[in-house]
Amino acid sequence: MNQNRQPSTLRLQLDSQGVLQGARFLPSPNCDERPIDGAIELLVIHNISLPPNEFGGPAVLELFTNRLAASGHPYYRVICGLKVSAHFFIRRDGQILQFVPCLKRAWHAGTSKWHGRLRCNDFSIGIELEGSNLLPFRDSQYAALAALTLELKRVYPVKDIVGHSAIAPGRKTDPGPFFDWQRFFQDVRS
């Protein structure tokens, strides 16, 4: 870890529907209404790269908006019919994209459980980092994630922040062994 690194000074703002001002918004059809008792209490951090372990292309955006062509890569034949989304996607350069307003339920957690509660999509926000289990994340991603997390905690009654692996153990491994939890929690300490 870079000891001279400074915490993010990036300031972000959510509107009344939970849309991040200034972020690129690409509406995903893979969402629905939260249940009445679906207060946002959990942030779930994921990693994703399409094709696997490759960065920078449009495939994640296409997956979350149901436009991924099975012919684009052999792996896409396996996943192109999935109806999945996340609220946010943070690129390797720190750019934040949004697919689902925070007040809607994104389809990111799948079969999941947190503190005895099932269906984590009902009460969580999903944040995807462009990455994999094989490489470290970048400083720009940590800075964007910290700024986004601080804004989400300011607006919503967030009680916990976990990786996908914590709510779907044995089924999911993300954000993976290279996600620096200590660094992240130090950056968002308030």
The string of pLDDT tens digits covering residues 39-68 is 999 999 999 999 999 999 999 999 999 999
Three-state secondary-structure class, residue 129 = strand
Domain hosting residue 167, numbered range: 24-49+85-187
Whether the ω angle into residue 157 lies within 30 degrees of 0, i.e. cis, is: no
Kindly state whether residue 159 falls inside one of the protein's structural domains.
yes
How buried is 31 (Cβ within 10 angstroms: 0-12 exposed, 13-18 middle, 19+ buried)? buried
Kindly state whether residue 116 falls inside one of the protein's structural domains.
yes
Kindly state whether residue 167 falls inside one of the protein's structural domains.
yes
21, 29, 109 from 102: Cα distances, Å: 12, 14, 14
Q: Does pLDDT of 83 surpass 70?
A: yes
pTM, rounded to two decimals: 0.94
The string of pLDDT tens digits covering residues 99-138 is 999 999 999 999 999 999 999 999 999 999 999 999 999 9
- Note if 128 is an active site residue: yes
Q: Rounded mean pLDDT of the chain?
A: 94
Number of domains forming the structure of the chain: 1
Instruction: Please tell me which residue, 55 or 189, carries the higher pLDDT value.
Output: 55
Query: Domain containing 178 — which CATH number?
Result: 3.40.80.10
Kindly state whether residue 57 falls inside one of the protein's structural domains.
no
- Residue tagged active-site, from 41, 54, 62, 128: 128
Kindly state whether residue 30 falls inside one of the protein's structural domains.
yes
Kindly state whether residue 70 falls inside one of the protein's structural domains.
no
